[in-house]
């Protein structure tokens, strides 16, 4: 049996969502991947992931997006997912100043575990709740400049800027990829093992997470 099939995409990128528990990472993923939203989304235990394929710069790009738990007890588990990540999206809640102040802590982990050339993006979720804002745009602009990471405010609830945010980091990744790789006119194939590896990785960590939950 042939272990390779024609690829239905030009590039495959792994994106990782990180940030404090409750900032809305799962809702961001749900909105971007399925264009849906629920107020009763259950807190992520460990990790979850979804796929979405987009067209950027005439390239078909498959995004493998990992949603990580923000709880401290899962921090060492989810940090493993930084390795191999092409892009990391740091999320805070504009109505929760503490989640914004913790961005530097998350960035320290990214710098510790992720590759130096990993693209980064800072997202402020829940911008639809303007009356409860606790993080000023001036503070965000200042932090964005200091850490040299572009920032954007989004709303998983309304969908505001969600596609724009994910497509912005994807476009940057595509441009970097195109700069590094010459055009290849040959038929592109992907081993079925690459897909199996993704799901095996998820299964392995699900078991670790289960054990951590019982601890």
Could you read off the pLDDT of 13-53 as tens digits, one per residue? 999 999 998 999 999 999 999 998 877 655 555 567 899 99
Element (H, E) at 131: none
- Residue 3 confidence (pLDDT): 46
- Residue 39 confidence (pLDDT): 73
CATH class of 7-181+188-194+206-214: alpha beta
For residues 2 and 133, the model is more confident at 133
- Residue 188 confidence (pLDDT): 45
The domain ranges of the chain are 7-181+188-194+206-214
At residue 96, does pLDDT exceed 90?
Answer: yes
Please say whether the beta carbons of 199 and 15 come within 8 A: no
Closest CA to 91 of 65, 59, 124, 116: 124
pTM confidence score = 0.80
- Residue 192 confidence (pLDDT): 46
């Amino acid at each position: 049996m042939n272990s390779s099939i024609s690829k239905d995409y030009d590039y495959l990128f792994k994106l990782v969502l990180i940030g404090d528990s409750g900032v809305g990472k799962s809702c961001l993923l749900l909105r971007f991947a399925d264009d849906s939203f629920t107020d009763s989304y259950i807190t992520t235990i460990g990790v979850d992931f979804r796929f979405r394929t987009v067209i950027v710069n005439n390239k078909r790009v498959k995004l493998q997006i990992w949603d990580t738990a923000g709880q401290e007890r899962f921090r060492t588990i989810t940090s493993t997912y930084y390795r191999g990540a092409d892009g990391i999206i740091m999320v805070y809640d504009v109505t929760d100043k503490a989640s914004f102040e913790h961005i530097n802590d998350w960035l320290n982990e990214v710098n510790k575990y992720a590759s130096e050339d990993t693209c980064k993006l800072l997202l402020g979720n829940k911008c639809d709740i303007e009356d409860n804002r606790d993080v000023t745009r001036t503070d965000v602009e200042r932090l964005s400049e200091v850490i040299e990471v572009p920032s954007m405010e989004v709303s998983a609830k309304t969908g505001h800027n969600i596609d724009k945010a994910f497509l912005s980091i994807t476009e940057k990744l595509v441009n970097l990829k195109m700069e590094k790789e010459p055009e290849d006119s040959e038929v592109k194939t992907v081993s079925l093992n690459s897909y199996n590896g993704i799901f095996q990785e998820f299964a392995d960590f699900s078991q670790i997470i289960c054990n951590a939950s019982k601890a």
